[in-house]
Amino acid sequence: MGTIRIGHGYDLHRLEALAPAGAGRPLILGGVRLVHDRGPVAHSDGDALYHAVTDALLGAIGQPDIGQLFPDTDARHESQDSEVFLAEAARRVRAAGFDVGNLDCTVILEKPKLSPVKEQMRANIARVLGVDVGGVNIKGKTNEKVDAVGEGRAVEVHVVVLVVGR
């Protein structure tokens, strides 16, 4: 077995009420559009799960974080599908001589419940990373009505990833 490295990723996005006519950014997590009356305040599509996985991968190989590679000051990333960021991180992991072993994700969100779409999220991440879906775990938690996350005003994500050198 080659070198083993661990990366940690974190992201948080403030959530704001969508306009009555549906204007605003929809809530997308793990590449899945969720039915919700709130959406993220973000420069890209605001997929906090993809953002945290991206940072975990980049951290594991000691590369710049998502904000450095895809700054929110760059107009090219306005409303960008976050799958682009995740795919680039996966490419960089492979280029550095590593393969993704597994990842464990915790999404903290008061509502909506993630259980109906968790398997789709896992499949999306596995597809983008080119790994078996069994290597991707997602847990949904609430913050028990404590702080901005618990009050439904934010979504928070933590990810730990293991990469293995070839």
The pLDDT confidence band at residue 22, using thresholds 50, 70 and 90, is low
pLDDT of residue 24: 82
Query: Which segment of 7-16, 71-80, 108-117, 123-132 scores lowest on mean pLDDT?
Result: 71-80
- The share of the chain scoring above pLDDT 90, in percent, equals 92
Please state, in angstroms and rounded to a whole number, the distance separating the CA atoms of residues 110 and 143: 6
Domain that holds residue 16: 4-165
Which secondary structure element, helix H or strand E, spans residue 165, and what is its range? strand 154-165
Which secondary structure element, helix H or strand E, spans residue 48, and what is its range? helix 48-60
Burial class (CB in 10 A: 0-12, 13-18, 19+), 112: middle
CATH number at residue 60: 3.30.1330.50
Which residue reads 């960008």 in tokens?
80
pLDDT of residue 21: 66
Count Cβ atoms below 10 Å from residue 144 Cβ, excluding itself: 9
Please state, in angstroms and rounded to a whole number, the distance separating the CA atoms of residues 105 and 37: 24
The pLDDT confidence band at residue 19, using thresholds 50, 70 and 90, is confident
Judge if pTM exceeds 0.85: yes
Check pLDDT > 90 for residue 107: yes
Q: DSSP label at 90? A: H
Domain count of the chain? 1
pLDDT of residue 20: 77
SS3 breakdown of the chain: % helix, strand, coil, rounded to 5?
30, 30, 40
Q: Which of 104, 101, 102 is nearest to 159 (CA)?
A: 104
Average pLDDT rounded to a whole number, residues 83-102: 98
Average pLDDT rounded to a whole number, residues 21-33: 89
Check pLDDT > 80 for residue 1: no
